[in-house]
Chains A and B, each alone.
Chain A
Amino acid sequence: MIAVLLILIPLLTGLAAFFFRNEKAARSWALFSSVLTLAVSILGLTVLKQAKYLSHQCEWMQGLGSSFSVSLDGMGQILCLLTAVSYPIIFLSTWHSSYKKANNFFALMLLAQAGLMGVFLAMDALLFYFFWELALIPVYFLCSQWGGERRIQVTFKFFIYTFVGSVLMLIGILFVYTHTADHSFAIDSFYKANLPFGSQHWLFWLFFVAFAIKMPIFPLHTWQPDAYEQSPTATTMVLSGIMVKMGVLGLLRWLLPVLPVASYSYGDTVSRLAIIGMIYASIIAIRQDDIKRLIAYSSIAHIGLMCLTIFSENKVGLQGVMVQMFNHGVNIIGLWIMVELIERQFGTRKMSELGGLAQKAPAMVIFFVIIALANIALPLTNAFVGEFLMFTGVFTSTVTKYNILFTVLAGLCIILAAVYTLNMIRKIFFGEANALTSTAMDLRLNEKIALSAIVGLIIWMGVYPKPMLDLTNEISDSILKISDVQHLLKK
C-alpha cells in the first residue's frame, strides 16, 4: 500500500497540477503533494513497516508475464526516502524562482517523481523499464522548456543518449526474459534465470551501458555536465540528486544479481573505467569556472566510486553504496540550492565573476561550506560514512586482485575533491566583494528552512548513521547471496 501510494500520490497530484491556472496555487499544491509523499514514506519507515504494507502486486499484462509488482526493500526505502525528502526541499528552496507556465512545471516535476519512485520500487523488469523511461520524459520537457540558452540541443543529446542506453537494456531484459523458467518478468524469475555463461557476457554490456549512461560512468558521461549546466536548477537537483541513483540501483538490483558471472568477470574492467572516470572528472573539475559544471564533474567522480564499490561485491561496500546514495543526493541537492541562489541573485554562475560573498551573506557561506565539506566527505558529515564504508568495501574486496591499487587511485580523488571544492568556496565567497557581489542579499526564510533540513540530514547521518545502515543490512546480504559467483561456479 505504501509502495503504491508513493507512486500514485505524485502521479495523480502531478496530473492535477496541469489544471492549475495560478502560479502560487500550483506551487503550494506541489509542495503539499511532496510533503504528503514524504509523510507516506516516513510512515513506511516507521509505523507501517510490516511487509504487507510495503509491497503490492496485481495483475498487469499477464499475457506477457509481467505484473504490477512494487515493493519497498531496504534499498527502495532509502531511495524513496531520498526522493520524498528531496522534493519538499527542492520546492521550498526554489519558492522564489518564477517559472513561465508554472503549473506545467510543477506538474512535470511531480510526474518525474512518480517515475523515479516507480523505478525504485519496481520488482518487475518490464515495469522497471516503463518507469525508467517515464521518469525521463518529464525531465526532458522540464529541461527543454525552462533550461538555459543551449537547452534544446543539450537536453536532446541527453535524452537520446539515455534513450540509447535504455533500449539496449530493453533487449537485455527481453533476452533474460526468454530464459526465465516461467516466462515472467518478475525479479525473482530473473534472479533464477538460467542464463548460459556465453550470453551473460554480452548481456552484461547491454545492461551496463544503460546504467552507465545514467550514472554516468566514464566515458559515457559527456551529456552530464552540459545537461546539468543547461537545466533549470530545480530539475538539475532531480537529475543529479535522484536520477543518477537510478543507474546505481540498476547495477545493484538488476545487474549484479541477474548476471553474476559476467559481473564477476567484467568487474575489473568496469572498476578500471570507474577509476579512470573518477580521476579524470576530478582533474577536469579543477579548472571549471562554471559552478554547475564543477559540481557536475564532482558528481561524476562520486558516482564512479559507487560503481567501483558495487563491483567489489562486498557487504560493507554495498551498505556504503546504499547509504551514500542517500547522502550524495542530499548533499548535491544542497549544492544546487546554493547554485540556484547565486545564479538568481547575480545572474551568473562563473566563479571568476563572483567573490567576497562571505561578507554580505554569512548564513549562505556557512551552509555552503558545510554542504561542500560534506561533499568532500569530511568526518561527521554523512558522506564520510558512505565513503568510508565504500572504500573499506573496495579495499577488502575479495573479487579483485587490485583492491589496494583501486583504493589508492580512487583515494586520490579525495584529495582532488578537496582541491576543487575548496577552490570553489574560495572563489565564490572569499576575497573582496566586487561590484556584482556587493549588493548580495543573504538567505530568505524558505531557503534557510530547506538548507537547515539538508544540513540537519548531513549531520545526523554523519553522526548517527545506524538507522540507515540497519536498513541496508538485509538487502545487501540478499544481493550478495544471489550474486555469489563462487557458489554458482561450484554448482
Chain B
Amino acid sequence: MNNVLHLAYLVPLFPLLGFLINGLGRKSMSKSLIGIVGSGAILASFVVSIWIFMQVKGGNTFTAEYFDFISAGKLTIPFAFKIDQLSSLFLLIITGVGFLIHVYSTSYMHEEKSEHFGRYFAYLNLFVFSMLLLVMGGNYVIMFIGWEGVGLCSYLLIGFWFKKPEYNKAANKAFIMNRIGDLAFLIAIFWLIWKLDTVSYDAVFSAVKDGSPALGKTDILVITLLLFVGATGKSAQIPLYTWLPDAMAGPTPVSALIHAATMVTAGIYMIVRSNILYSLAPVTLNVIAIVGIATALLAATIALKQNDIKKVLAYSTVSQLGYMFLALGTGSYIAAVFHVMTHAFFKALLFLGSGSVIHAMGGEQDIRKMGGLSKYMKITNITFLIGCLAIAGIPGLSGFFSKDEILAGAFMKSPILYGVGLFTALLTAFYMFRLYATTFRGSFRGTHDQEHHLHESPAAITFPLIVLAILSIIGGYVGVPEFIMQGAHSLNTFLAPVIASVDHGAGHAATHLTHSEEWMLTGLSTVLIVAVVVFAWTKFSKKPDTEEATGFGKVLANKWYVDEIYDAVIVRPLNKLSNFLDNMLEKPVIDGLVNGVGKLVNYSSRQLRLLQSGQVGSYVLLMVISMLLIFALQFFLRK
C-alpha cells in the first residue's frame, strides 16, 4: 500500500470515466467536448503510464491489491494490478497508440451524429479500459475480465454501424470466435485453481519455479495448450482467425487500434506473461511455432489477392501475428514483444493511412478504383510508404529489427521455420507494395466525382500519421541486435526480469548464433526483400492488378474458402441440428412423450368407459368374474 504504484488504478480509471461521461452524456454533449473527454482521458492515462514506466524503469515493481473480487471456499481472487516491466511497456503502447487514434477519430468520425459520435468514443474508452485491465491484471481472472471486455468492445465497435446486417454478423462472428478461445482460457484458469487453488501470477509462477508437486508436467502442458487456444482466438491464429478480416467492418480507427495495435496482441501478452509455464512445455512451444508460421503463411497468401485496402491490411495483421507466435514458439519472447511494439506502430500507421485514403475517397475501399493518390495526399502517401517499408523489413526501420530477431530465433530452432518465415516475409513485402503501388502510384481509376473530392486529410488525421511514422522508423532502435551494437538491445535488458531463465528452454537467439551467421541471414533476407519490393513496385505502378483472379489466384482471393468450409462444417450443421432437435426431438419425442401420457390417459379413458356398458347383466358378470379370479388366486395360487 505504501508503494506509489498503488496509484496505478488511475490508468484504467480515466478511460472508465471517459466511457461513463461519454456514454451517459452523449446526447447532451457537443462533439468537440466528447472528443476532448475521450482523448483527454486517454492522454491522462498515457501520462500516468509514462510515470509508471519511469517508476518501473527505476526498478520499482509492485502488485497492487484493491479489494477481494471473489472469495469463495479456499479460493480468493483479489482485484489486483501487477505493475512490472512487461505491463508497463504495454501500458505505454496501449495508451500511446490509443491516444493517437482517439485524436485521429475526432476528425475521422466527425460526420457521425453527435449521439453516435458519443457512443463511439464511449466504446473506444471502454476498450482502452478493458485492455488496460487485461495487461495490468495481477492474476488470470482479472486478465480474463479484460480479455472478455476487449472482445465485447471489439464486438460493439465492429457492429458500430448497426444498420448494416453484414456488419452485425461480422461482429457476432468476432465475439463468438473469441468466446471459443475464451472457453479454453477459462478452463486453463480452472485447471490452475484445481491444482494450485490460486490464479495470481506471483503465486502460480513461484509455484512453477519451485517445481510445486501439485502441478505435474501434464498439467503444465495442458494449461499452456489451453492458454494458447485462448490466444488463438484473441490473436486470430489458425483456426480461429477468420473473424479478424471480417472485423474490418468497423470504423477504420477501430481497426487500427483494436484489430492491429492492441487487442489482437493480447494473446502474445498472455503467453509472454506466462512464459515460465511455456518454457516448461516444449511441446506447446512447438505447437505454437507451427501454428504461428502456418498462420503467417496462410494469411500472407490470402493477402496477395485481396482488393479491399483494409482486408489486405487485416490479413497482413494476421500474418504478422503469426510471426509473433512464431517468435513465442521459438522461445524468443522478447522478440515477440518487440514485434508487438513495432507492429503496433506501423500497422496502426498503415490502418490510419488507409483510413485517410478511405476518408478521401468518400468511403471507397477497393484499391482497384484508386491509384495515383500520391499526387493528392502527400502526407498520407509518405507516411503510408514508411509504414510499408517498415512492415516489409527494410533495414533501418523498426520492422526490420523485430522481424530479423524473430527470423534469427526461428533459424536457431529449425531452418525450415526460417525458410518459411523468410518466404512469408517476402510475400509480405510483395503484397504490401502491391497495395501501395496500386493505391498511390499509377493513375487515378475512380469516378470523376471522387477525383474532385480528393484532398489531404485534416491535421487531426495527419498528426497521428506523422507521429506514428516517426515511431515506425525509430521504434526499432530500442532493440538493436547485439551483433550490430553491443548492449544496444535495451528492450532485452528492460524485460529480462519478467522472462524466466530456464536452462533447457530456448534462450536468446543472439547467444547461440554467431555474429557472422546473423550477418549472413540478415543480409540474405534484406537483399531478397528489397528485390521483391522493387519488383512489386514496378509491376503494380504500371499495370495494376485489376482483373478478376483466376485459377489459384481465385482460391487465394476467396481466402482458401475457409469461411465456406467453416460455414459448411460448423455453422450450417449447427443450425440444422438446432432445427432438427427442435422439430424432430423436442416437439415430437420429448414433448410428445409428455403429451403422449396425457393422450394415453385420454385414450384409456375413452376405452375404459366402454366397460360401463349400461347393461346390468354385464356389470354383474364382470363382478362375478373378478370374484372368481380373486377366489381362484386366493385358494389355488396363494396357498
A18 touches B (CB below 8 Å): no
Are A465 and B169 within 8 A (Cβ)?
A: no
Are A385 and B115 within 8 A (Cβ)?
A: no
Q: Chain B contacts of A408 at CB under 8 A?
A: 187
A391 to B185, CA, bound (A): 13
Are A373 and B71 within 8 A (Cβ)?
A: no
Are B578 and A286 within 8 A (Cβ)?
A: yes
Are A161 and B168 within 8 A (Cβ)?
A: no
Are A432 and B163 within 8 A (Cβ)?
A: yes
Q: Chain A contacts of B72 at CB under 8 A?
A: 315-316, 319-320, 389, 469, 472-473
Are B165 and A430 within 8 A (Cβ)?
A: yes
A146 touches B (CB below 8 Å): no
Are A415 and B70 within 8 A (Cβ)?
A: no
Closest A residue to B23 by beta carbon equals: A366
A357 to B451, CA, bound (A): 37
Nearest CB of A to B534, in Å:
46
Are A287 and B187 within 8 A (Cβ)?
A: no
B175 touches A (CB below 8 Å): yes
A391 to B189, CA, bound (A): 10
Q: Chain A contacts of B147 at CB under 8 A?
A: 379
A356 touches B (CB below 8 Å): yes
User: Which residue in A319, A359, A411 is a CB contact (below 8 Å) of B187?
Assistant: A411
Are B73 and A316 within 8 A (Cβ)?
A: yes
A284 touches B (CB below 8 Å): yes
> What 1/0 mask marks residues of chain B from 187 to 208 whose CB sits below 8 Å from any chain A CB?
1001101100000000000000
A388 to B185, CA, bound (A): 12
Nearest CB of B to A216, in Å:
11
> What 1/0 mask marks residues of chain A from 381 to 422 whose CB sits below 8 Å from any chain B CB?
000110011011001100000011001100110110011001
B407 touches A (CB below 8 Å): no
Q: Chain A contacts of B191 at CB under 8 A?
A: 395
| Interface residues in A399-451 (C-beta closer than 8 Å to B) | 403-404, 407-408, 411-412, 414-415, 418-419, 422-423, 426, 429-432
Q: Chain A contacts of B546 at CB under 8 A?
A: none
Q: Chain A contacts of B164 at CB under 8 A?
A: 431
B579 touches A (CB below 8 Å): yes
User: Which residue in A288, A392, A423 is a CB contact (below 8 Å) of B190?
Assistant: A392
Are B586 and A431 within 8 A (Cβ)?
A: no
Nearest CB of B to A279, in Å:
10
A223 touches B (CB below 8 Å): yes
Are A469 and B194 within 8 A (Cβ)?
A: no
A396 to B164, CA, bound (A): 44
Are B141 and A415 within 8 A (Cβ)?
A: no
A362 to B46, CA, bound (A): 32
A157 touches B (CB below 8 Å): yes
> What 1/0 mask marks residues of chain A from 273 to 289 whose CB sits below 8 Å from any chain B CB?
00000001001111110
Please classify how large the interface on chain A is, using the bins under 10, 10 to 19, 20 to 34, 35 or more: 35 or more
Q: Chain A contacts of B175 at CB under 8 A?
A: 418, 422
A99 touches B (CB below 8 Å): no
Are A379 and B145 within 8 A (Cβ)?
A: yes
Are A356 and B163 within 8 A (Cβ)?
A: yes
A278 to B639, CA, bound (A): 54
| Interface residues in B63-88 (C-beta closer than 8 Å to A) | 67-75
Closest A residue to B598 by beta carbon equals: A157
Q: Chain A contacts of B69 at CB under 8 A?
A: 463-466
Nearest CB of B to A304, in Å:
14
A466 to B77, CA, bound (A): 11
Q: A161-B594, A430-B165, A431-B163 are in contact. Are A396 and B183 (CB under 8 A)?
A: no
A324 to B28, CA, bound (A): 37
B424 touches A (CB below 8 Å): no
B456 touches A (CB below 8 Å): no
B627 touches A (CB below 8 Å): no
Q: Chain A contacts of B194 at CB under 8 A?
A: 395-396, 403
A378 touches B (CB below 8 Å): yes
Are A430 and B67 within 8 A (Cβ)?
A: no
Nearest CB of B to A341, in Å:
19
Are A222 and B578 within 8 A (Cβ)?
A: no
Q: A414-B183, A426-B169, A426-B172 are in contact. Are A373 and B162 (CB under 8 A)?
A: no
Are A388 and B70 within 8 A (Cβ)?
A: yes
Q: Chain B contacts of A411 at CB under 8 A?
A: 183, 186-187
Closest A residue to B587 by beta carbon equals: A222
Are A392 and B180 within 8 A (Cβ)?
A: no
Nearest CB of B to A19, in Å:
37
Nearest CB of B to A325, in Å:
14
A219 touches B (CB below 8 Å): yes
A358 touches B (CB below 8 Å): yes
Q: Chain A contacts of B577 at CB under 8 A?
A: 283
Q: Chain A contacts of B193 at CB under 8 A?
A: 392, 395-396
Nearest CB of B to A302, in Å:
16
A419 to B172, CA, bound (A): 7
Nearest CB of A to B13, in Å:
13
B406 touches A (CB below 8 Å): no
Are A316 and B149 within 8 A (Cβ)?
A: no
> What 1/0 mask marks residues of chain A from 346 to 379 whose CB sits below 8 Å from any chain B CB?
0000000000101100100000000001000011
B144 touches A (CB below 8 Å): yes
Q: Chain A contacts of B67 at CB under 8 A?
A: 464, 466
Are B581 and A412 within 8 A (Cβ)?
A: no
A489 to B187, CA, bound (A): 32
Are A429 and B162 within 8 A (Cβ)?
A: yes
Q: Chain B contacts of A414 at CB under 8 A?
A: 179, 182-183, 186
| Interface residues in A200-216 (C-beta closer than 8 Å to B) | none
Closest A residue to B161 by beta carbon equals: A430
Are B144 and A280 within 8 A (Cβ)?
A: no
A194 to B598, CA, bound (A): 38
B517 touches A (CB below 8 Å): no
A380 touches B (CB below 8 Å): yes
B152 touches A (CB below 8 Å): yes
User: Which residue in B141, B162, B169, B582 is a CB contact (below 8 Å) of A284?
Assistant: B582
Q: Chain A contacts of B593 at CB under 8 A?
A: 219
Nearest CB of A to B179, in Å:
5
Are B73 and A284 within 8 A (Cβ)?
A: no
| Interface residues in B134-185 (C-beta closer than 8 Å to A) | 141, 144-145, 147-149, 152, 155, 159, 162-165, 168-169, 171-172, 175-176, 179-180, 182-183
B575 touches A (CB below 8 Å): yes
Closest A residue to B585 by beta carbon equals: A280
Closest A residue to B72 by beta carbon equals: A319
Q: Chain B contacts of A283 at CB under 8 A?
A: 574, 577-578, 581
Closest B residue to A419 by beta carbon equals: B176
* Residue among A285, A319, A403 with max Cβ neighbours from chain B (10 Å): A319
Are A415 and B176 within 8 A (Cβ)?
A: yes
B112 touches A (CB below 8 Å): no
Nearest CB of B to A484, in Å:
14
Q: Chain B contacts of A419 at CB under 8 A?
A: 172, 176, 574
Are A422 and B581 within 8 A (Cβ)?
A: no
A391 to B75, CA, bound (A): 13
A411 to B168, CA, bound (A): 24
A469 to B595, CA, bound (A): 42
Are A287 and B168 within 8 A (Cβ)?
A: no
B591 touches A (CB below 8 Å): yes
Q: Chain A contacts of B579 at CB under 8 A?
A: 287
A116 to B172, CA, bound (A): 38
Can you list 12 residue pairs at the A/B interface with Cβ under 8 Å? A161-B594, A284-B586, A288-B582, A320-B72, A373-B152, A388-B186, A395-B193, A396-B194, A408-B187, A418-B175, A426-B169, A465-B70
Closest A-B pairs by Cβ, 3 of them: A315-B73, A379-B145, A395-B190
Apart from A422-B155, A464-B67, 5 more pairs, CB < 8 Å: A280-B581, A320-B72, A379-B145, A392-B193, A419-B574
